[in-house]
Structure formats: C-alpha cells, structure tokens
Chain A
Amino acid sequence: MFRYYLKLGLLSIRANPALSALMVAAIAIGIGACMSIVTVRHVMSGNPIAHKNDVLYHVQLDNWNPDEPYEEPNEPPEQVTYLDATALHQAGRALRQTISFKSDRVIQPDGDNARPFQQEVRATTADFFAMFDVPFAYGSGWDAVADQTEERVVVLSAEMNRRLYGGENSVGRMVTMNKEPYRVVGVLDEWLPIPTFYDLNNNPYQGPEQIFLPFSLAISGEWGSSGNNSCWKPSENGSYEAYLASECIWIQMWVELASAADRDTYLQFLNDYVEEQKSLGRFPRELNNRLSTPAEWLVNREVVDDTVNVLLSLAVLFLIVCLLNTIGLLLAKVIRRTSDISLRRALGASKSALFTQYIVEAGMIGVAGGLAGIGMTWLGLRGLENVFSEYDFIAYLVTMDWSMVLGAVLLAIVSALAAALYPTWRACSLSPASTLRIQ
C-alpha cells in the first residue's frame, strides 16, 4: 500500500510541477540558510575536547587590583602569573598539569636558498600532549625530566614536518630557531582543534601552533609572550626577572583530575595556596579562584560572536517564512483536491487511508526539500567561505558534519509533515458527498 501512496504522490507532484518545485525550493532554501549558519556556529562554538570535559579544568586565580575586578562584575583574570603557574605546576597536586604560553620564533631551514620564516610556537610542559589527547605520528612528547633540565627539544606539527622535512619521520633531526639548534623528539599527526580551547585569548580560530617546546627552555631564553599580557601594577624594573616576579598575567594553566569528584579537592588546594600567598602580601582581593571545564570555559569566553547569533536568529525566521510558504501552498493544493478525496471516500477509502496518502505525499516533498537543502547548505557554506575568505577558521567549514546533514533532512521532513497536517486533516473531515455531484 505504501508503494501505491508513493505512486499517487509522484503523480500528484508531476501534475503540478511548478508548484511542487516551489514547495521543494522553499524548504530547501530555508533549510540551507538555517543549516549553513548553524554549521558556522557549531564550528565556532565546538568543544574539541568534549570527551574529557569532566576531567579537564582551566585554572583561574584572582591576583588582581584590590580596587577593581579584572572584569565586571567580579571575574578573575583569564590567565595566571609566572609565579603562580610554576608554583602550582611544581606542587603537582593534579593527575596532570600544563602551563603554557605562545611566543614567536624565527625558523631557519637547512639549505642555502631556504629563507628563514617567523612562526608561532607554544612553550608548554610535558603533560600537554597526554592531557589534550594530541595524536603523534612519530616519536612522542618530552618527559618531566626534560622540563626540569631545559632540554633543547621540539615537537613539530604534521604541517611543519611536511614543510621542513617533506613529511618523513624527522625524529632525531635538528631544527634551527633564532640561530639555536633543537632536536626533534616527536611529530604530531593531523590535529586541528577548533577553537583552540587551551588558549582562547588569542584568535582561537587560526588552529594550533606548529611547534611545541619545553616551558622551562623558553623561560631560560627570556622569551616574551606573543599573546595577551595584562598587568595591574608596573613591575619593579624593565628586566625579565622583574617581569617573572610581577603580577602580570600571561600564562594559561590547565589541570587534569582523576574524576569530576576531585574538583572540590583541587579548588580547596588552590584556595589554600592563595591563603598562604596572602600571608606573604600578595592576592589583595577576596578569595575568587575558579576551575572551569572546557565547555564552561568556552561559554565564559563567549567565543561565538554576536554576528553569528544575529545571523542565526534571522536564519530561523527565514526558515519560518519558507515553511509558511509551503504550508500555504500545500493547503491550497489540498483544498483544490477535495473532489479527489470525496471520490476516494466513495470508493471505500477510510479517512486514515487518505490521511496516510496525503502525509506520504507531503513527506516526499519534505524528503526532496531536505535533500535539496543539503545542496543548499553546501552552497551556503561556499558562499560564506567566499564572503569570509580572509578568516582562517572558514577553512574548517569545508567538512559538512554528517549528523548535521541528517538533521537537515529530518528537519525538512518534519517541517513538511507539520505543514501538511492541518490541510490534510481539514480535507479528510469534509463530508464526501458535498463535492461529488458537480465538479
């Protein structure tokens, strides 16, 4: 029987080609507009480390100005000082802990003709790779001993390895940065967390750094941060030592706990640490330390900007217009076919049989609209890519999420069914005798 309904649906769609095309196009365009914006928003607000959301925590300590909060109403600074970062890292009270910052180095490739180039690097500690599930193609990260001994080692991204060594296993080879040699100990597999949740302060959509090396090494080389750096009081003098001892915040700190149950314990540890520091004359503000899961941290930093939210609300309205359009047309179509409905009733079709027939027909419009909507979403994303071509993150929109695709089709079918429900119900409850006599 279902096949019979499919056949009748097809016949009816063929009988009104322009109108059916209009309905399908309206659904497709509405879905396309909505889904492209949803995809952008999804990519921008994605949580690439969601699978460890209950054990990873971003650390904030409130060492700020006694007279004003870092951010209204009473937000602690989003980064920590060198003093606190190293003290907490040393204490090692979490399962794993990472302190890191972003810096710039000049890479000098081997060969006479190769030109040196500037590159963002991340100075971090050994646990970084295990904590954030960073995949390795060759070798591995460095160990805690290397952190202490300031070993001159680096980990390269897959892309950097391709650029420097054509993608071959480069573990053991030497890289020259700012005229100093470093030994490659590991090469990453493709790794593109978007946004780069571990450091949301500095353009989180341009992808991770290409080179990673020990934090202690960067400090002994007196490197500055190329990321955000805020101070509420001037350091003693202009020297690097004074900077390290200052209340300036410039380091991102994350910890991994064995389970979510340890969150309170670790927060208590932070509070105890700050109380101790208070007795030394630091931390003039009230206790205001914070641990945030990656998801909480992404929301806190409001990584999705208003432009996308404005567009999303307009896109939803847009979809509503398209659905109203389709409902109106379906209604008109069904009203015109009351004689067909009456005739079929006279020939023995029950209300439910007719209802099914019309719902199947609307469902077909929905499926067609949904499939065309996938195409429209693809076009919409290409359009956005074109319009935003100068933004780095837009490259990640190339991949359409399959769950998103499924969502689009489902949304279209549900919309079409919802659109068909009222007119069909109306048509089926008409008295069959009324239209049979005179057409």
Chain B
Amino acid sequence: MDIGPIWRAMLKNKAGFVLIALQIAVTMTIMVNAFAIMQERSNKAGRDSGMDEENTFALASAFFSEYDRDLMKALIDEDLALIRAMPGVRSAVASNSFPLRQGGWSMGLQTEPGANAADSVSTAIYFVDEHGIDTFDATVIDGNNFAPNQVSWQQQDDNTWPAYGIVTEALAKELFPDEEGSVVGKTVYINDNDPVNIVGVIDRLHAPWPSWTGVERTMLTPQRRTSEFQRYVIRTEPGYRDALMPEIEALLADSNKDRIISDVTTMEQVRKLAYLGDTAMVRILTFVVMLLTIITGLGIVGLASFNVSRRTRQIGIRRALGASKPAIVRYFMVENFIVSAIGLAIGGVLSVALNMAMVEAFALEPLAWYVIPAAIVALLLVGQAAVAGPASRASRVAPAIATRSI
C-alpha cells in the first residue's frame, strides 16, 4: 500500500493525530520507566538472604523483673537449653538481630588500628554463639566455626568486643580487596583499636537492612549479652515450624511469668514486611501499566471510530471506485501504524530522558537495553488491535452510499 496519500490525508487533519501520537508517547514513557522500576524492585525482593527462611522463626522475650547479671545468664542459658531440647528444633541462637529485620547493629571495621584510619568498612554485626552458623544456614567456606570457649558474655550497653569474628565472603572482599589467598587469621580493628581475629569466612548472610547497599556485608561475633531483652532465632527440621511456634511460645511464657513473649514471626512474614514497599510497588505499577494500556487502546478505538464515521461517504466512494474490503482495512491499519511510529519515536526519547532523571533523582538503575524495543512492539500491537474493530466496520460501508446525497 502506498503511504504517500495516507500521510497527506493525515496532514489535512493534524490535531487529532498529534494528540494520539503524544498519548502513545507518554504511555510508552510511563510503561518503560514503570517496567524498569518493577524489574529492579522484583529483583531486589527476590534476593536470597542466606537463611533457611522456610524453616526458621524468631521471637523476643522481655523480662520485667530486676535480675542481677548471674541470674540473667542462667535464665538465658535455660531458655536456650529448653528450646534446643524440643523435638524438631534443629538449632537455635540468641542474637541481637537477623536478616530482613530492618533493625540491628552496625560498626566500622578497619585493617589498621587508629582513630583516623581512612579505609573503614561498615558491616552489620550479629551476636551469636557456636550455634549461629547452623541457625542462620551459613556455610563455612574457609576457616572454622566459633569454638564454644570463644563465646563470651557482655553487658547490655557494652562497647568492648570479642577478639574473634566470622565474616561473609563479600565483607572479606571489601576489607581485603587485593588479597588472593585466605583471609582467615588476619586481624581487623573495631572501635578504632580493638583487634578482631577472623576465624572463618561464610558464603552469604544478609545484613538486617534489605535496602542498604552493603547488605551482603555481615560479621558474626561470639558473644551473648546480659539484657532483659533477648531475641531468639530458631531453625526447625522441615515441617516442624508451624507446630513448634505456639509450643515454644507457651514453653517460654510458662517457664517464667515475669516476662513477655512478643514478635513471634516466621522468616516468611519478616521477608514479606521487609520487602513490602517493593512488592507493593510492583503490584501498583503492574496495575498502572495495564490500566494505561487499556485507556490508550480505548482512545485509539474512539478516535478511529470517529474517523470512520466522518469518512463514511469517502469510504463509500472508494468502495464504489473499486477498493476492496481488505484495502479499506489496510488504509486504517497503515494510518495507525504511522501515528504509532511517530508517537513511539517521541516516546523513546522521553523514556530515556525520564529514566535518566529518575536515575539521577531516585538512584534507580539505568534501563536494560531490551525494554524500549519491547515497549515499542507491545504498543504497536495494541494500536493495531485497537484500530482493527473500527477498520473492519469501515470496510463494511456499502458502496451505494456514494450515490446518496445525504
């Protein structure tokens, strides 16, 4: 089909086509950028925290009686012994926090001692004992787990640190970027001057803050704290979690009436809450893109219908002069293709511009190369599908209409 006459006919009636082209352009801009955000967010929400999330839950215990340190130690030991003795419990640990909890402790580590060291690397810290590795489902890939005698008791607001640490592979790389061999046995400094000897390296364990850029950087330190407030992380054998949650809650509540058990949550709930903003964003944007596509599609249908009824006589004349039905359909399809192509060209520029602005303003990732071509194909198809109805209606105009005066 010859594009020339169609193009010239469109120039006669620019405004309507300009509007639809602009609409397609803005639709594409939203589509592309929404998709980029959706992709980033769903990748983020799909990351592995390193834990055996399916079989792990956590709870918090808060004593409200005043106990002295020794009694407190005994009570915490008793709690852990009770929990670990439950059939179905694989391992348990008292920790200050755990991945995805969105609250925890972070410190700066440096490879040289001193207050003014420039190379400080911030890391999340979990206080654990020798059961921590198994509870967090971490694999020691170099060195060893903590030995029981390395685990010490600290006071609640203590700022002194055990001399041993286990780091994630990501943290080791960040601390010793040039080290080719093992980092086990090396010393890092916490609190400016306190030495920490790296006894082991684990594969992966997330920090408690999923939105933190250093989420892969975590250090385990062998300590427990004498605090009224304790957080227990419990990993069960597969299938035991749901039954054990209420049992352990009741067990602890009954063992000491002067406390409150709270925050009994599965890791699945914790994950849901941690990535709530991200999954919500994905859902909202999916909905927005769908709605937008529908509106733009309907807009094209509406305008095409108008054009068809406005040109009924003209179409009749064409039919009378020998145009076939497919030729009429093709006319409207080509017309829509031209408008879409113009809109999509503008939209391509707008999409990239908005994406650059968003990368700048909201620290988003740049577009993947295939998003724009994909959006172009999708919107071309939507346009052609939308115009198909009115076009086929146009093709059914009777040639006889040409000879009627009204």
Contacts and interface: CB of A to CB of B under 8 A. Distances in A.
**A and B pair up:** yes
Interface of A: 18-19, 22, 25-26, 29, 33, 67, 104, 106, 116-118, 178-179, 224, 231, 234-235, 238, 243, 305-307, 309-311, 313-315, 317-318, 320-322, 324-325, 327-329, 331-333, 335-336, 383-384, 387-388, 390-391, 422-423, 426, 438-439
Interface in B329-364: 358, 361-364
B62 A335 contact: no
Contacts of B27: 321
A313 B16 CA distance: 26
Given A26-B299, A29-B295, A106-B64, A383 B287 contact: yes
Nearest to A104: B62
B280 interface: yes
Contact of B62 (A29, A118, A224, A234): A118
A393 to B, nearest CB: 12
A329 B157 contact: no
Given A19-B302, A22-B298, A67-B115, 19 more contacts: A19-B305, A22-B299, A104-B62, A117-B260, A179-B64, A309-B362, A314-B34, A317-B26, A322-B295, A324-B26, A325-B295, A325-B296, A325-B299, A328-B16, A328-B19, A384-B284, A390-B272, A423-B15, A439-B406
Contacts of B288: 33, 314-315, 318
B262 interface: yes
Contact of B19 (A306, A314, A331, A383): A331
Contacts of A307: 277, 281
Contacts of A234: 159, 191
B405 A438 contact: yes
A439 B306 CA distance: 16
B393 interface: no
B314 to A, nearest CB: 13
B292 A387 contact: no
21 contacts: A29-B295, A33-B288, A33-B291, A116-B260, A224-B156, A234-B159, A238-B157, A238-B159, A310-B37, A310-B281, A314-B30, A317-B29, A321-B26, A325-B295, A325-B298, A328-B19, A328-B23, A332-B310, A336-B306, A388-B276, A390-B276
A29 B19 CA distance: 19
Interface in B30-44: 30, 33-34, 37
B116 interface: yes
A235 B157 CA distance: 10
B16 A332 contact: yes
Contacts of B13: 335
Contacts of A317: 26, 29-30
B83 interface: no
B299 A329 contact: yes
Contact of B303 (A178, A329, A422, A426): A329
A333 B34 CA distance: 32
Contacts of B277: 305, 307, 388
Contacts of B299: 22, 26, 324-325, 328-329
B310 A335 contact: yes
B376 interface: no
A336 B309 contact: yes
CB-based closest 3 A-B pairs: A332-B306, A328-B19, A106-B64
Nearest to B281: A307
Contacts of B305: 19
Nearest to A319: B26
A388 B273 CA distance: 10
A153 B34 CA distance: 53
Given A67-B115, A106-B64, A106-B260, A329 B26 contact: no
Contacts of A116: 64, 260
Given A22-B302, A387-B284, A318 B62 contact: no
Nearest to A116: B260
Contacts of A106: 62, 64, 260
B2 interface: no
A310 B23 contact: no
Interface in B1-35: 13, 15-16, 19-20, 22-23, 26-27, 29-30, 33-34
A265 B22 CA distance: 56
B23 A321 contact: yes
Interface in B302-324: 302-303, 305-307, 309-310
Contacts of B116: 67
B296 A321 contact: yes
Max count, chain A CB within 10 A of own CB: residue among B306, B364, B406: B306
Contacts of A327: 19
Nearest to A423: B15
